[in-house]
Amino acid sequence: MTLTNEPPSSPPSSPFSTPLDTLLDRVEKDMAEDLVPAEIFNNEDVFRAEMERIFTNTWVFVAHESEIPEAGDFVQRRIGLDPVIVTRDGKGGVNVLSNYCRHRGTQVCQTDAGNTRFFTCPYHGWTYANDGRLIGTPLRQRAYGEPLDPDLWSLKRAPKVENRKGFVFASLSADVPDLEEWLGGGGWMLDLITQLHPDGMRVAGPPERYVVNGDWKTAAENFAGDIYHLPTLHFSVQEVDMLQGVQGSCEIGRTYEFENGHTFAGHAWTKAVHPGFTLWGYPDEYKEKFDLSGLDEAQRFVVDHQPPTVGTLFPNLSYIRMFSPVPGGPPAVMTSFRQWQPVAPGKLELWNWQFVWNFQDEESARHDYVSGQYYFGSAGLFEQDDTVAWEGVARAGASPWMRKEELKFNYQQSRTSPVDSTPDPDWTGPGVHRNTGYGEHVQFNFLRQWLKAMRGEARTDAATTEGTQA
Ligand code: FES
Ligand SMILES: [Fe+2]
């Protein structure tokens, strides 16, 4: 008898290797062929390891300082699965504290944001100052006699916290490179996005949040620079006349790959629209206010001719800026930073902050905010398209049938495309730059870093571009 549905044989594994190690071996082997096993996008073992090996071992964005401008301000955030409280203490310092009471673990902060000098645990009332110090225990004389030593019983703090030009990152491991070194070219790109005006940017409100039944990596790799999906998934935006030219977007696509998996992709708007369409198409009254003197020559070239439209700072902070007309209104450019919060295998919570310039008045800021919501927001045109597609990826990743088939996703565009996607030899900025949106190199830059991090190899190699596809 012939079995037509016989599953492919699994690679041999050492008697001491775990199923996860075996899977990672398979990922490595497949990636050498520009393939990726579907199951990494929805897998219990992978998810658990991501939380332990990536999210507790690297810099993760937690807040923008404009969310906590005053002493006592706080926001509740997440690093992987762990709730943290980001506070501005009385001395102006920023603290990233674990939101687990040291008595039994209950969350001492139960709200998203506010202003307070201390947090009182709702369970038995242990109380902590907003810098994390234990300052009170109910019925202390009878319950404990001596005061508990705050050096021993304060809230756990993230071992590393850095505020880089308003963007606050924390690491749950002390054994990480400095943030500047870790971001490398990603920081260079962040500067040309957010430092166009000396007063900088602010959040336009608290982050909008919604659950997507998709894997956090799917969203991160899309925002790393999946320009190829625009003409298909987002064609409706062209149909309703909100954005023309999505059909040709790979032709005018420009990509930027940096060390440590940070990746951006933009468009050559001055070529596609008209020569004066510099700086993302910002209206002249914005351009007049910008001060570009702090940018280097390559940054000037990028902002003038092919600014980043999207990007991902590994692991889970992404960005998008594009011109986004509100029908019938004046032109606008929206800026969103978004975080793909892992919730469970194949499930993420999307956090979306709209950003505006500090020089904008309320009315102009609101206009840009509304235009941003038209495109990227829970009811935004782009957002709805994307999230439906991403949910399909997670479904395939968890499929029993596809596990049996050892389904692999195809990232092989660079192997067969006639378009030249080799690195630009004239590029003078950091990392690798390519003059096309074809090639799927950007997704691999992100996924290679993911594999390194999953293997525990990602912490000490901040200065290498090794692993970037040539
Ligand atoms: S768990 Fe917080 S006081 Fe007991
Ligand atoms: Fe999209």
Which tens digit of pLDDT belongs to each residue from 266-298?
999 999 889 999 999 999 999 999 999 999 999
- 124: buried, middle or exposed (CB in 10 Å: 19+, 13-18, 0-12)? middle
Looking at residue 135, its pLDDT comes to 98
Domain assignment of residue 15, yes or no:
no
CATH label of the domain that carries residue 68: 2.102.10.10
CA 220 to ligand 2 center in whole angstroms: 11
Whole-prediction pTM value?
0.93
Using a pLDDT cut of 70, give the percent of the chain over it: 93
Residue 133: which residues within 8 A CB-CB, separation 6 or more? Answer: 150, 154
Do 245 and 305 belong to one domain?
yes
Spatial separation of the C-alpha atoms in residues 385 and 230, rounded to whole Å: 10
- Of 164, 195, 228, the last residue of a domain is 164
Average pLDDT, whole number, for the chain? 92
CA 382 to ligand 2 center in whole angstroms: 6
- Of 135, 164, 193, the last residue of a domain is 164
DSSP-derived 3-state class of residue 62 = strand
- pLDDT 10s digits, 56-99: 999 999 999 999 999 999 999 999 999 999 999 999 999 999 99
Looking at residue 399, its pLDDT comes to 96
Do 246 and 355 belong to one domain?
yes
CA 133 to ligand 1 center in whole angstroms: 14
Do 328 and 425 belong to one domain?
yes
Q: Atom 4 (ligand 1): residue with closest C-alpha?
A: 124
Do 237 and 370 belong to one domain?
yes
Do 381 and 425 belong to one domain?
yes
CA 116 to ligand 2 center in whole angstroms: 39
Total structural domains within the chain: 2
Domain assignment of residue 160, yes or no:
yes
Looking at residue 16, its pLDDT comes to 65
Do 203 and 228 belong to one domain?
yes
Do 419 and 307 belong to one domain?
yes
Domain assignment of residue 63, yes or no:
yes
Domain assignment of residue 1, yes or no:
no
Looking at residue 460, its pLDDT comes to 45
Question: Which of 85, 99, 103 is the pocket-test mutation for ligand 1 (most atoms within 8 Å of CB)?
Answer: 103
> Residue 324: is its pLDDT beyond 90?
no
| 156-192: b (≥16 Cβ within 10 Å) or e | ebbebbbebebbbbbbbeeebbebeebbbbbbbbbbb
Containing domain of residue 343, as a range? Answer: 180-454
- pLDDT 10s digits, 4-32: 444 444 445 555 667 999 999 999 999 99
Question: Which of 85, 99, 104 is the pocket-test mutation for ligand 1 (most atoms within 8 Å of CB)?
Answer: 104
Binding site membership of 126 for ligand 1 (Cβ less than 6 Å): yes
Do 204 and 131 belong to one domain?
no
> Residue 444: is its pLDDT beyond 60?
yes
C-alpha 103 chain-centroid distance = 33
Indicate the pLDDT class of residue 246, thresholds 50, 70 and 90.
Answer: low
- pLDDT 10s digits, 376-399: 988 888 888 999 999 999 999 999
Q: What is the DSSP letter of 347?
A: E
Looking at residue 331, its pLDDT comes to 81
Spatial separation of the C-alpha atoms in residues 218 and 331, rounded to whole Å: 31
